[in-house]
């Protein structure tokens, strides 16, 4: 059990590390366009050429073969091999937003390209975009979760601690929020906010809305825990000794709530990442040219793209991996919470 949790946490830390250092792991600038290489399929890594087997993988340069006036399919030019090298110099990027660097983990020399997940309509490298888009999507999920849990625990603690009419009022509003399908509600709130904004403002608006709509369920759970812990003998004793409300909630009640919040966090992060992805997919979230998993997927709304260019599902796969990791962690936390 403990080992499982450790493994999951290590994997999650690894995932976030890769996303955080996207500039280093991505071979190209996510916004760099190659119009002549649109919808290029994933570049194949070769180990064997006509003569022998190489330990170091290599790629061939691909180009579109013209069939009359029509664009045909991509074909590899087998005349020259380009070896995949580590720590190559490429486009400059800022690591963590401060450190300027041009070193990338891997790459090939021009004119060959290495597109691990292919390219999109503008010939942008899908792999680099998945990494950079993941920064936005995952950050949105985490920030929204923090907002939700903060709002939820403040309301829950107030309702549970004071009880009486305060409790009844807050839980009434709570039920109101619970009785709305969240996505309809989200769309509704989004409808009343400006549509076109700078990326940064959109991001915070989006996370704020997603986070604030979800406060109801954690608030209800926190309230339950606070209600049961309020009458514990040590809390009553503390009050007898003249402890203030603030001290009691910080010292005795919050620690009890903490396990619950941790489980909720692991549960909410993937859900909120999905919410951001869904909104951006609908064109209501983060806009081009900034990549997010949602707006990358939104090109798939055209059936022709969906059928012909299957590699554009890469952000969906990344989303699934992230969600499954977080959800398994939430499940482990949950069973531990129940058994304790």
Partner 1 sequence: MNYILRRLLRAMLLLVGVSALCFLFTEMAPGSFFDEMRLNPQISPETIAALRSSYGLDQPLAVRYARWVNAALRADLGYSIAYNAPVAPLLWSRAKNTLLLTTCALAITWLISVPLGVWAASRRGGLVDRAVTLASSFVISVPELVIAVGLLALVVRWRILPVGGMMSADSDALSMLAKLKDVARHLALPAFILILCETSIIVRHVRASVLEVLGATYVQAARGLGMSQSRLLFRHVLPVAANPAISLLGFSLAGLLSGSLIVEVVCGWPGLGPLILEATLSRDLYLVIGGIMFSALFMIGGNFVADMMLIVVDPRIRKEGVDAR
Least CB distance from residue 314 to partner 1, whole Å?
12
Least CB distance from residue 328 to partner 1, whole Å?
7
One residue of 77, 188, 255, 289 binding partner 1 per CB under 8 A: 188
H or E stretch at 60: strand 53-67
Tokens linked to 66: 């013209």
What is d(CA 243, CA 229) in angstroms, rounded to the nearest whole number?
16
By CB under 8 A, residue 15 contacts partner 1: no
One residue of 13, 310, 335, 337 binding partner 1 per CB under 8 A: 310
Cα 201 to chain centroid, rounded: 18
Scan residues 146-175 and list those touching partner 1 (CB under 8 A): 172-173, 175
By CB under 8 A, residue 53 contacts partner 1: no
Of 40, 33, 26, 35, which Cα lies nearest the Cα of 132?
26
Query: Which of 14/188 has CB closer to partner 1?
Result: 188
Measured CA distances, 333 to 6, 44, 219, 222 (Å)? 12, 40, 19, 16
Burial class (CB in 10 A: 0-12, 13-18, 19+), 126: buried
Q: Give yes or no for a contact between 114 and 59, defined as CB atoms under 8 angstroms apart.
A: yes
Tokens linked to 2: 């403990």
Query: Which of 122/182 has CB closer to partner 1?
Result: 182
By CB under 8 A, residue 194 contacts partner 1: yes
State the number of CA atoms in the 13 A half-sphere of 205 facing the CB.
Answer: 21
Least CB distance from residue 332 to partner 1, whole Å?
11
Site string for partner 1, 281-300 (x = CB under 8 A): xxxx------------x--x
Site string for partner 1, 252-271 (x = CB under 8 A): ------------------x-
Write out the residues near partner 1 by the rule CB under 8 A: 172-173, 175-176, 178-185, 187-195, 270, 273-274, 277-278, 281-284, 297, 300-301, 303, 306-307, 310, 313, 316, 319-320, 323-324, 326-328, 331
């Amino acid at each position: 059990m403990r080992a499982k949790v450790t493994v999951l946490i290590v994997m999650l830390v690894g995932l976030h590390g890769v996303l955080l250092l996207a500039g280093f792991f991505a071979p190209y600038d996510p916004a760099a366009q190659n119009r002549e290489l649109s919808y290029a399929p994933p570049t194949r890594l070769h180990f064997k050429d006509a003569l022998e087997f190489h330990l170091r993988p290599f790629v061939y340069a691909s180009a579109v073969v013209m069939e009359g006036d029509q664009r045909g399919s991509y074909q590899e030019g087998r005349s020259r091999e380009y070896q995949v090298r580590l720590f190559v110099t490429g486009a400059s990027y800022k690591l963590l937003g401060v450190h300027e660097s041009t070193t990338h983990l891997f790459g090939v020399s021009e004119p060959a390209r290495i597109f691990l997940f292919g390219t999109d309509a503008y010939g942008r490298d899908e792999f680099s975009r998945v990494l950079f888009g993941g920064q936005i999507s995952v950050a949105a999920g985490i920030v929204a979760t923090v907002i939700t849990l903060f709002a939820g625990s403040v309301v829950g603690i107030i309702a549970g601690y004071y009880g009486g009419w305060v409790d009844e009022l807050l839980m009434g509003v709570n039920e109101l929020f619970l009785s709305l399908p969240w996505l309809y509600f989200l769309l509704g709130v989004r409808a009343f906010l400006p549509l076109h904004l700078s990326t940064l403002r959109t991001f915070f608006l989006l996370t704020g809305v997603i986070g604030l709509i979800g406060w109801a369920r954690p608030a209800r759970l926190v309230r339950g825990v606070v209600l049961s812990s309020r009458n514990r003998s040590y809390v009553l004793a503390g009050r007898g000794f003249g402890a203030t409300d603030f001290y009691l909630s910080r010292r005795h009640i919050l620690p009890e709530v903490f396990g619950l919040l941790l489980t909720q966090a692991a549960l909410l992060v993937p859900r909120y990442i999905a919410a951001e992805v869904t909104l951006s997919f609908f064109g209501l979230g983060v806009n081009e040219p900034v990549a997010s998993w949602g707006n990358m997927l939104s090109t798939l709304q055209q059936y022709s793209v969906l059928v012909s260019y299957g590699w554009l599902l890469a952000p969906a796969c990344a989303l699934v991996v992230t969600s499954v990791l977080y959800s398994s962690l939430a499940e482990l936390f949950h069973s531990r919470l129940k058994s304790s």
